[in-house]
Structure 1
Amino acid sequence: MLIALASVWGGSFFFNAVAVRELAVFTVVVSRVVLAALILLLILKFKGERMPTDVRVWTAFFGMGLLNNAVPFSLIVWGQQYVASTVASILNASTPLFTVIFAHVLTSDEKMAGGKLSGVVIGFAGVAVMIGFDALRELGTNVVAQLLCLAGAVSYAFAGIYGRRFRTMGVTPIATAIGQVIASSALLIPLMLAIDRPWTLDTPSMAAAGALIGVAAISTAFAYILYFQILSTAGATNLLLVTFLIPASAIILGVLFLDESLLPKHVAGMALIGIGLAAIDGRPWRAVRRLQIGKAKESP
């Protein structure tokens, strides 16, 4: 599920880059969440389920919509007006770093133990290697835009921890996904009307319209069903590891479908990501330790 989520979320940077060439920031973001909400409501109706009506649950939906949609979507799209998608993806890959730190402080069961922090650092290094040092040179320019993307990563990290509460509330993954996109739509529509005044904008091209549909249907509606399913079973830190896999999935898809080349830096970067994931998971190292202890006991 992490690999599937990385694949569909990886496309959001591309879709954003296409859409923001012609449309204002809040118009892009509102189109994304409103279309996603409509798609998810159709799926919910088809499944014969109903949305919860508890005020406490809807209050949580608005908190999640703010942290996981309204704030990061707006900041990242705003930043992507001035920085390349590769740079935005590098900054987005810092999300697990923040998640490990915040989870250590704010939760009782996801402490920064063992190799978790080192694994996150190794994974982030793998992303940097895979993207390439040419892209890293851009990290010194357009500082404000990069800080916006980084602030989006911080918001995602808080959202991963905040969203844990839906597991104890008994809310299904699809209901949680719908609740947060409806809530974020309600938060963002007034901003779009006041700031973008979309009725004054030119009619978008087929490319921009297609990008909006893609980011809503694939990178939001489908992605959030996976997102909350993983969050309910694997925890916030493991979920946010998907940001390491997004650049890897983009490269693999490019090799398979776009005749792009698999370069040594891609292999090295993905190897580092694999080591980082193993360090965070901890089981490979515990297996090695048990093997060493077993050999020590066997020796005279």
Structure 2
Amino acid sequence: MRNQIQSYLLLTTLAAIWGGSFLFIKIALGSVTPITIAAGRIGLAALLLYMILRWKGLSLPAMGKHWIYIVAVAMLGNVLPFSLISFGEQHIDSSLAAVLMATIPLFTILIAHFMTSDEKMTAEKTLGVLIGFLGIVILIGPSTLLDLGKQTLAQLMVACGALCYSVTGILSRKLSKLPKLQCAAAILLVASAVIVPASVLLDQPWALKPDPSALISIGILGLLATAVAQLILLKVLDLRNASFLSLNNYLIPLFGVFWGVVFLFERPAPNTGIAFLVILLGVFVSQSGFMRFLRPAANA
């Protein structure tokens, strides 16, 4: 019972932290460029996790085929989504970006069909994915999708970030046998080796004039939302399993909207709430919840 309570508290804390990352990205964008935000976040997190690793007397994973997946996860789980979400939030509210993260389970189902041998599409999964993507159309707006203005492209960028996270979730299974902390540190170090030079070449960060709120936000994103959150994630996995951790997919958008409304005074459009519910319905149906819900009634 104690472990159950602890795991739920940690899961909620993790969702609150990750949901808040959209808020801090939005604040940092006031005076810092997207790639530099991603570079600062990943660089700080990599440094902190590597220091913890050395303090514990541990080392990075030995060289081997698994490093292919470490590099892939570094790119698809950190470099690309952190950059895409930051670019997207230049033109959309942080709360809207958070809602788009609810699509991760739907993308995962779709991609798993092609990348795995034991998670093929079923009728329920197909229906759920179709319902979920209808929610995305409602969220972005059918007419807006055809227009492809800045807001639409920004939302599509954030959706691509969610897609990256989905692919990462599947690829991460190839790393399940590696020690988790060493693996996490290796992934962030590889990601920082890519994104920091990219920031130097493309943004010339020394020429930027970040205000204090941007610097604090990047610090929070790196140390809390990436490094500490990773440690909490590892603790949750020690107490429960990956299925339990996936509940975060439903909590993060809620916290993201809450923080945006409270601290940035954002006012989500009416279609945002409707779209979120439709996306969640799609996830529910795709995970066979729909048939389980109907069976008792059918048997009554």
**Do these two structures clear the TM 0.5 threshold for a shared fold by scoring above it?**
yes
**Structure 2 residues without counterparts, runs of 5 or longer:** 1-9
* In structure 2, C-alpha distance between the alignment counterparts of 1:255 and 1:13, rounded to whole Å: 12
Paired residues of 2:108 and 2:167 also in contact (CA < 8 A)? yes
| Residues 1:230 and 1:9: Cα distance change in structure 2 (over 3 Å) | same
* In structure 2, C-alpha distance between the alignment counterparts of 1:186 and 1:66, rounded to whole Å: 10
* In structure 2, C-alpha distance between the alignment counterparts of 1:270 and 1:193, rounded to whole Å: 37
Higher mean Cα deviation, 50-59 or 61-70? 50-59
Paired residues of 2:96 and 2:257 also in contact (CA < 8 A)? no
Total equivalences in the alignment: 286
1:162-205, Cα deviation, whole Å (9 max, x unpaired): 111111xx212222221111111011122111111112222x22
Shift of 1:41: 2.1
Task: Name 1:176's counterpart in structure 2.
Answer: 183
* In structure 1, C-alpha distance between the alignment counterparts of 2:279 and 2:154, rounded to whole Å: 26
Q: Aligned pair 1:86/2:92, yes or no?
A: no
* In structure 2, C-alpha distance between the alignment counterparts of 1:208 and 1:124, rounded to whole Å: 34
Paired residues of 1:126 and 1:272 also in contact (CA < 8 A)? yes
Paired residues of 1:87 and 1:138 also in contact (CA < 8 A)? no
Shift of 1:258: 11
**Structure 1 residues without counterparts, runs of 5 or longer:** 296-300
* In structure 2, C-alpha distance between the alignment counterparts of 1:103 and 1:230, rounded to whole Å: 21
Counterpart mapping for 1:60-79 below 5 A: 60-79=69-88
2:35 to 26, 36, 57: 26
| Residues 1:126 and 1:230: Cα distance change in structure 2 (over 3 Å) | farther
Structure with higher RCO (Cα < 8 A, 6+ apart): 2
Paired residues of 2:99 and 2:254 also in contact (CA < 8 A)? no
- Give the superposed CA RMSD: 3.9
Counterpart mapping for 1:115-126 below 5 A: 115-119=124-128
1:9-28, Cα deviation, whole Å (9 max, x unpaired): 11111111111211122211
Task: Name 1:298's counterpart in structure 2.
Answer: none
1:100 to 106, 109, 116: 109
Shift of 1:70: 0.8
1:123-156, Cα deviation, whole Å (9 max, x unpaired): 7788999xx99x9998764133223222222222
* In structure 1, C-alpha distance between the alignment counterparts of 2:35 and 2:275, rounded to whole Å: 34
* In structure 1, C-alpha distance between the alignment counterparts of 2:62 and 2:113, rounded to whole Å: 32
1:89-138, Cα deviation, whole Å (9 max, x unpaired): 23333222221100112112333336445456667788999xx99x9998
Q: Aligned pair 1:233/2:248, yes or no?
A: no
Paired residues of 1:177 and 1:225 also in contact (CA < 8 A)? no
Q: Aligned pair 1:199/2:206, yes or no?
A: yes
Shift of 1:53: 1.9
